[in-house]
Amino acid sequence: MRTIRFEYHPEGERYDPNDPGFTGRYLYCFWHEHILVPASQFARKDIQVLTSKHADGQMIARACRSLGFSTVAGSSTRGGAEAVREMVRQGEVCHLAITPDGPKGPRREVQPGVAYLALKTGLPVISFGVAYSNCWRFGSWDKFALPKPFSRALLVTSKPLVVGSDVGRGVLERVRIDIQAQVDGVNARAEELLAGKSRPADLLRRAA
């Protein structure tokens, strides 16, 4: 990842927790296949990453901890309720990070758990969109992406999605759909920028 030519293109304000003076707490979402970009660029102890208790999830957890993140283990099939409660507690003092289609898919389909977590914590949701100029794809359920050395990696962050705290009937599904649209949108934007089909938002603001 150190050979990658990394580019960050926020939609609106920057939401990079490594920026000096960065304030607020957020729930960061990105597809399971793209975990290498946030893991390599935004490692901080005050970011809690939700990982699976399965063997592959624990391998990811060890890698995240070695980079400097904190982790909470749990999934829809093993320790899920306990993990959500712990993430809600950590959300009072930390950023949270989750792959909304993990730990086992379907690929690029937001699961209800992230919507519930957003509602229970009240944290604004920031989604990451990632595009690689050249990468290998694994044969796993998520088609995990491994960028090739010296390729480009583009990251687009969304504007914050504020969902409130009402976990009433129908609200969970509405929030899940909103997060799905947000993650899909920034990933499409990253692909457009990579292909040169549109100009970065910061250049458009300067031109205006």
Express each pLDDT in 39-59 by its tens digit. 888 877 788 888 777 777 778
Q: Are 198 and 192 in contact (CB under 8 A)?
A: yes
pLDDT band, residue 201 (cuts 50/70/90): low
Whole-number pLDDT of residue 76: 53
pLDDT of residue 4: 95
Q: What is the mean pLDDT of residues 82-97?
A: 88
Mean pLDDT of 188-192: 97
DSSP assignment of 156-169: EEPPPB---S---T
Alpha helices, DSSP H only, in the chain? 36-41, 55-67, 80-90, 112-121, 171-195, 201-207
pLDDT exceeds cutoff 70 at 95: yes
User: Quick one: angle between helices 171-195 and 112-121, nearest 10?
Assistant: 110
- Beta bridge mates, 126: 28
**78 pLDDT above the threshold of 80:** no
Q: What is the mean pLDDT of residues 89-99?
A: 91
Flag whether pLDDT at 205 surpasses 50: no
Model confidence pLDDT, tens digit, residues 144-189:
999 999 999 999 999 999 998 777 779 999 999 999 999 999 999 9
The reported pLDDT for the residue numbered 9 is 94
Please write the tens of the pLDDT for every residue from 108-130.
999 998 999 999 999 999 999 99
**Does residue 114 contact residue 99 with C-beta atoms inside 8 Å?**
no
pLDDT given for residue 43 in this prediction: 76
pLDDT band at 17 (very low <50, low <70, confident <90, very high): confident
CB neighbour list of residue 147: distance below 8 Å, 6 or more residues apart: 1, 4, 36, 132, 133, 134, 135, 153
DSSP three-state, residue 64: helix
pLDDT surpassing 60 at residue 77: no
Domain positions in the chain: 5-207
Task: Identify whether the C-beta of residue 52 lies closer than 8 Å to the C-beta of residue 123.
Answer: no
